[in-house]
Homo-oligomer: A and B are copies of this chain.
Amino acid sequence: MLYLTRRENFNAAHKLYNPNWTPEQNDVVFGKCANLNWHGHNYYLYVTVKGTPDPDTGFIINVKELKDIILRTVIDKVDHRNLNLDVPFLQGMMPSTENFAKAIWEQLANEVRRPNCELHCIKLYETDSIYVEYYGE
């Protein structure tokens, strides 16, 4: 069993604001992340698959294929977008790094499943000093 990771980047806007709360409650919990006019990040996404290498190629999965899947199912939908407004797979969800990482897993898990490999981990950096990992359960 080996683990292969591919990194991709994207830039997006969001805010953390619970519409069921008063502005004061939002300010207490989310602070400046609740700014009504949005803020944004350069996100770094690490996608890890696990499996056994193919004897003819030495690959768990062709990393170009993995890149294409990540671009098609995630990056094209979130890059230079507003996570609260523009992304169907995030609708009705607080776009915290935790929820966002879990939602990316849902986008990718079936797409990378092969007889010899499967999705292992989503690691999502919101900033250099904050990241979330999700292993599918």
Tell me the bound Cα distance from A62 to B86 in angstroms: 25
- B94, A58: Cβ atoms closer than 8 Å: yes
Query: In the complex, A130 Cα to B29 Cα: how many Å?
Result: 32
Contact call B133/A3, Cβ cutoff below 8 A: yes
1/0 per residue, CB under 8 A from B, across A39-74: the answer is 111100000100001001111101110000000000
Interface bracket on A: 35 or more
Cβ-neighbour of A96 out of B8, B35, B59, B80 (below 8 A):
B59
CB distance from A80 to the nearest CB of B (A): 4
A92 to chain B, nearest CB (A): 12
A130 and B6 in contact (CB under 8 A), knowing A42-B42, A58-B95? yes
CB distance from A56 to the nearest CB of B (A): 6
18 contacts between A and B (CB under 8 A): A2-B98, A2-B101, A3-B133, A4-B130, A7-B128, A7-B130, A9-B128, A11-B39, A13-B13, A13-B38, A20-B56, A32-B80, A35-B80, A35-B81, A38-B40, A39-B79, A58-B98, A59-B98
